[in-house]
Structure 1
Amino acid sequence: MNPIFNFFFEQYARYETHHIVLEIIAVLFGLLSVVFSKQNNILVYPTGMISTAIFVYLLVIWGLLGDMMINVYYFIMSVYGWYIWTRKVDKEHTTPISKTTLKEHKISAIIFFSTIVFVFVVYQVFDKWTSWTAYVDTVTTAIFFVGMWLMAKRKVENWLYWIIGDVISVPLYFYKGFTFTSLQYLIFTFIAIFGYAAWKKSLNKNLQT
């Protein structure tokens, strides 16, 4: 058991105890947020905001600039998404789940490539091109930025971006030494798959009625 435990958790010996506790709390709220998202529940946003706020604090301490920017963006988009999800499209209905339009696909592409350029510039300024993980961070940041925007717009395709980003993030965070966060993304992957199926089922049901 000891070698296995050390393989997964020995890096935490270097961390402050309260940082480990905060990471676990952030992971738990992150999992709650994704579960609520799968259920198309507005609680996705307050739980997500707690998780991202804690991660912003931790990532600043750990010096992970790209990951920190992702979580700052998540927090801002959570505020926007909370508004969109509660906005009435008429007297009785809030913004429904829908498919991404051609215009929104174009906007998604603009967000993706703009994010890559932005992160590249920031990494250049702060001299963060110190590992191959920085290049992967650039891509995953762009993927997650698009996914978060589409989720705020309540578009079913948001889950496809989350699935791709989560799959990449599992080994990435483990390599960086954040086992709990890596496990979080592993669970996220499965929830995202079920979330896509649930939202698609709900969309088809709405179209039929």
Structure 2
Amino acid sequence: MSLADILEPLQQPLFTVLGTAVSWTEFLGFGSGALCVWLVARQHIANWPIGIANNLFFVLLFTQAGLYADAGLQVVFITLAAYGWWTWTHGGGPGTDVLPVRRTTRTEWTWLIAAGVVGTLGLTLLLERVTDSTVPFWDALTTALSLMATYGQCRKRLESWWLWIAADVIYVPLYAHKELYLTSLLYVGFMTLCVVGLRSWSRDLAVRRRDALEVTA
């Protein structure tokens, strides 16, 4: 039995949204993605294995939809998830196994923005020349924003939520354009969860700073 035969059931339609069939792949991606973001907002370590499962579903989905940069991005996400999983449990420094929420430094912003611009331009050219993508720039831009956000998530940088929100604002109409309506709806939910995560991490940072001031007072 080939890999295609094994994966074929996941490509079968499960139900229909707005006249478009929704496959098992899209449905499972929807569920695992929503659970993953909710767990990130709660700073729960289980977000990483759930996120890896979500990435695998989306590799299949995006390849079928011709969103090649997004499909390749999921492979990178799996690698970053392994790094983030380790960092959240070992990156807190001596005496702690918990990584605290921090703000993104000016130096980090400088290289993140530079990498984002270069990555967007490079991916746009690549997609235009070697794929049949109909949305090369938007595919590349969301890829770059997502990678920037994922780095921040791995390091528990508060501003990673703003980067995710920026990416989601583009993802919603992009996926609707590709007739991935359930995935488009998922990203509306992601934006809501991102706001929840931003508020939760902001409160955590404020409490940690207040406790630090009380200790030094």
Q: Which TM-score bucket, shorter chain as reference?
A: 0.7 to 0.9
CA deviation after TM superposition for structure 1 residue 62, in Å: 3.1
CA contact (8 A) 1:115 1:145 kept: no
Rate the CA distance shift 1:175–1:61 in 2: closer, same or farther, 3 A.
closer
Structure 2 residue corresponding to 1:67, chosen from 62, 70, 76: 70
Matched, 1:58 2:61: yes
Query: 1:202 matched to which residue of 2?
Result: 204
AA aligned opposite 2:32: F
Query: 2:11 matched to which residue of 1?
Result: none
When you count strand as a share of all residues, which structure comes out higher?
2
What CA distance in whole angstroms lies between the structure 2 residues aligned with 1:93 and 1:52? 26
Query: 1:40 matched to which residue of 2?
Result: 43
CA deviation after TM superposition for structure 1 residue 142, in Å: 1.3
Alignment of 1:80-119 (within 5 A): 80-87=83-90, 88-119=92-123
CA contact (8 A) 2:66 2:132 kept: no
When you count helix as a share of all residues, which structure comes out higher?
1
CA contact (8 A) 2:172 2:185 kept: yes
AA aligned opposite 1:99: R
TM-score scaled to structure 1, two decimals? 0.87
CA deviation after TM superposition for structure 1 residue 100, in Å: 0.4
Structure 2 residue corresponding to 1:11, chosen from 2, 16, 20: 20
Structure 2 gaps, min length 5 = 1-14, 212-217
Greater alpha carbon shift after TM alignment, 184-193 vs 90-99: 90-99
* SS of residue matched to 1:177: coil
What CA distance in whole angstroms lies between the structure 2 residues aligned with 1:102 and 1:166? 24
What CA distance in whole angstroms lies between the structure 2 residues aligned with 1:206 and 1:128? 49
* SS of residue matched to 1:182: helix
User: What does the per-residue CA deviation read over 1:143-201, in whole Å, with 9 as the maximum and x for residues that have no partner?
Assistant: 11111111111100000011111121111111110011001100000110111011011
User: What does the per-residue CA deviation read over 1:74-125, in whole Å, with 9 as the maximum and x for residues that have no partner?
Assistant: 2121111111111141123422110001111112113212321331242134
What do you get for the CA RMSD once the two structures are aligned? Answer: 1.8
> How high is the sequence identity, in percent, across the aligned residues?
24
What CA distance in whole angstroms lies between the structure 2 residues aligned with 1:128 and 1:135? 13
CA contact (8 A) 1:80 1:152 kept: yes
Structure 1 gaps, min length 5 = none
Number of equivalent positions: 196
CA contact (8 A) 1:52 1:71 kept: yes
Runs of 4+ aligned structure 1 residues displaced above 6 Å come to: none
What CA distance in whole angstroms lies between the structure 2 residues aligned with 1:92 and 1:76? 24
